[in-house]
Amino acid sequence: MAGVPLAWYLILSAILFALGIAGFLFRRNLITMFMSIELMLNAVNLSFVAFSYKFGRVDGQIFTFFVMVVAAAEAAVGLAIILAVFRTRKTLAVDEIDSLKY
Amino acid sequence: MSQYYTSTDHFVLIPALMLALFGCAVLLFDFLIFPHPKQRKWLIVFLIIGEIFTGAGLWRQQSFLSSYGLNELTAFNGTLTIDGFALFFNWLFVLLSVLVAIVSYRYLEIENEHHGEYYGLILLAQCGMFFMATGTDLITLFLGLELTALSFYVMVGFLRTQKRSNEAAMKYLLLGAFSSGLLVYGFSLFYGLSGSTKIVDVADALAAREPGDPLVVLAMAAVAVGVLFKVSAAPFHMWAPDAYEGAPTTITAFLATGSKAASFAFLMRIFLGPLESARPTWEPLLIGAAVLSLFIGNIAAVTQTNVKRLLAYSSISHAGYILLGLIAGNETGLIGVAVYVAVYAFMTLGAFLVLVALRRRDLIGEDIEDLAGLMESSPGYAVLMLIFMLSLAGIPPTAGFIGKYYILLALIQTGHYTLAVIAAVFVAVAIYYYFRIVRAMFVSERKETAPLASTFGIKVALAVSGVLTLGIGIYPDPFLRMAGFSLIR
């Protein structure tokens, strides 16, 4: 990492995070939205690792491991729920899943 | 015991250990020891034993603190802190979990669903809540939040074959995961600003920055939006009505009370910890969110016909009131937050429990019309529902009045006169829609003749929440003393 300034990592992380938010807000497919959330979490990981390297401390990297674990658990639960939704409705477009509204 | 796991660490961790162990054990016992459907009732007994062990751990911690005159006890090198605040919220979670568990048996039978996972997930969710109220490190707080949220995603979608439940789980999952992403991005900036994940160090590092530092503002905004999602404050409330309506009613009761209380504990830990020094920056943001929550929650509730959805909007407006206590920020306001959260939990739980009793075979019992003539058919339930509605509206002598009194008093003490007036005006709006339910029960003609699905568990749970709602309103002193003990610092 010698030579690459910290700011570049942070800018990359911010760009990835913004892409994740944009994907979540503008895509209307359940799986794509879910992948956008994973992208947001990975952007967070990048920023943690970059800070951790700068400080020469290990706790940021530990946080990264926990974020990865949480992302994996979320994917397991999330895909199961998406599967259940698909079974009852035969669609993955969020706009068509709208029976709850007033 | 080594330097990595001292006896103090163990002492502090016992309640969470018990919850996690019993949670996993319930999952195993479900098919190993109680394979026959008739034996599933024993799972509730097992859950209650787990809660007794948890309560014993909390009791020992509380007596340890008071006998040595300590304010707090930290463990794991400062990542967990047992103080009055953590104890107050953990007692609340124990009570709520037990009450939700004992009403669930009949409901699950009617819905024809599994039992083991359900009780296991309640315990695991409560384990997460323990860390949300007790954690003083960004990692523990985040993990507690996620453990709670993941358990709730599954529980909201527990009725797998029902479209509504699936959809509710999906919406809750997507928005919950999204808000967690925002929150943890803010946490990464906290870490970058301070070089530590302990909230004490983060608080020091943020206080050393000059006010209005763009990085602090960015971190604060990301964290604030994430937390406001979790407490379902407007404009980040969209998931709440859908999740509340689609979830099994017993879980809605737990989501609206336990998860909400835990989220507010989390919010207090963050906003009175790392973000305390940035108060001038976040105060306008929270004022906006609180006023908008009052407005949207109360106005949208007026037109609802589904009681669960109506109570969801009412819970959004209550989130607004609780935020006002934090905005006032003096001692009265912070005690007011604890008082309001607990009182809100008791009365909302009670209102949802009446709906649980209304769920019978072939009858969903969630519309206001389903409550018609309840006074005639089962007067006990109708009177209890009346008490909960009066309390939700904030009318004396019920507990809801004490909560609103504290919040309004704190706002006046700190000179937020406009906010106090707004908060008081919306009480009038709230009375209108709560009394639509009351009118249906007492005035409308009775339509449904099927008897209520009342069990011993429902009766006990309703009696407890009814007694607490009315008791705190009539004789608040002991409760207020407990809440006063819960101040952070």
Q: Where do the structural domains in chain A lie, given as residue ranges?
A: 6-96
Which pTM does this prediction carry?
Answer: 0.95
B191·A17 Cβ contact <8 A? no
Which residues fall within 8 angstroms of residue A14, CB to CB, at 6 or more apart?
A: A43, A47
Gap between the Cα atoms of B154 and B330, Å rounded: 38
Q: From B196, which residue of chain A is nearest by alpha-carbon distance? A: A59
The pLDDT value given to residue A102: 53
B178·A81 Cβ contact <8 A? no
Gap between the Cα atoms of B471 and B243, Å rounded: 31
- Beta-sheet strands, E only, within B119-238: none
Å between A19 CA and nearest CA of chain B: 13
A62 contact B CB<8A: yes
B163·A88 Cβ contact <8 A? yes
Å between B239 CA and nearest CA of chain A: 11
Å between B166 CA and nearest CA of chain A: 5
One CATH from 1.20.1050.10, 1.10.510.10, 1.10.287.3510, 3.40.250.10 for A6-96: 1.10.287.3510
pLDDT mean over A40-67? 94
SS3 state at B80: strand
A102·B195 Cβ contact <8 A? no
Long-range contacts of B461-464, Cβ-Cβ distance < 8 Å, separation of 24 or more: B461/B99, B461/B100, B461/B102, B461/B103, B461/B349, B461/B353, B462/B350, B462/B353, B462/B354, B462/B357, B462/B381, B462/B384, B464/B95, B464/B99
The pLDDT value given to residue B131: 96
Q: From A63, which residue of chain B is nearest by alpha-carbon distance? A: B139
Residue B137 pairs with which residues in a beta bridge?
B198
| CB-closest option in B170, B181, B303 to A82 | B170
B303·A97 Cβ contact <8 A? no
A57 contact B CB<8A: yes
Contact B43, B26 (CB under 8 A): yes
- Would you mind telling me the total number of residues written for chain A in this entry? 102
Q: Summarize pLDDT for A71-97 with one digit per residue, the tens.
A: 999 999 999 999 999 999 888 888 888
Phi and psi angles of residue B160, each rounded to the nearest 5 degrees, phi first: -60, -30
A81 contact B CB<8A: yes
The answer to whether residue A101 scores a pLDDT higher than 80 is no
Burial class (CB in 10 A: 0-12, 13-18, 19+), B67: exposed
- Of the residues A38, A74, A94, the best mutation for testing chain B's interface (the one with the most B CB atoms within 10 Å of its CB) is A74
Contact B186, B219 (CB under 8 A): yes
Ordered per-residue pLDDT tens for chain B, 489 residues: 688 889 999 999 999 999 999 999 999 988 888 778 778 888 999 999 999 999 999 999 999 999 998 888 999 988 999 999 999 999 999 999 999 999 998 888 888 888 889 999 999 999 999 999 999 999 999 999 999 999 999 999 999 888 899 999 999 999 999 999 999 999 999 999 999 999 999 999 999 988 788 899 999 999 999 999 999 998 999 999 999 999 999 999 999 999 999 999 999 999 998 888 888 899 999 999 999 999 999 999 999 999 999 999 999 999 999 999 999 988 999 999 999 999 999 999 999 999 999 888 777 888 888 888 888 888 999 999 999 999 999 998 899 999 999 999 999 999 999 999 999 999 999 999 999 999 999 988 877 777 787 889 999 999 999 999 999 999 999 999 888 888 875
Å between B360 CA and nearest CA of chain A: 21
Gap between the Cα atoms of B202 and B15, Å rounded: 27
SS3 state at B36: coil
B181·A47 Cβ contact <8 A? no
Å between A84 CA and nearest CA of chain B: 6
Å between B242 CA and nearest CA of chain A: 6
A11 contact B CB<8A: no
The pLDDT value given to residue A2: 62
SS3 state at B16: helix
Amino acid found at B438: V
DSSP conformation class of B74: E
Which pLDDT band, with edges at 50, 70 and 90, does A98 fall under? confident
A88·B162 Cβ contact <8 A? yes
B150·A77 Cβ contact <8 A? yes
Domain assignments of chain B as residue spans, ordered by start: 277-489
DSSP conformation class of B259: I
| A84 interaction partners in chain B (CB closer than 8 Å) | 157, 160, 166, 169
DSSP conformation class of A101: -
Å between B64 CA and nearest CA of chain A: 31
A74·B177 Cβ contact <8 A? yes
* Nearest by Cα to A97 from A33, A35, A47: A33
Q: What does each C-alpha distance from A18 to A39, B171, B182, B230, B282 come to in angstroms?
A: 9, 21, 10, 21, 22
| CB-closest option in B181, B196, B309 to A20 | B181
- The verdict on whether omega for the bond into residue B397 sits within 30 degrees of 0, i.e. cis, is yes
Q: What does each C-alpha distance from B128 to B265, B271, B272, B287 come to in angstroms?
A: 12, 19, 20, 28
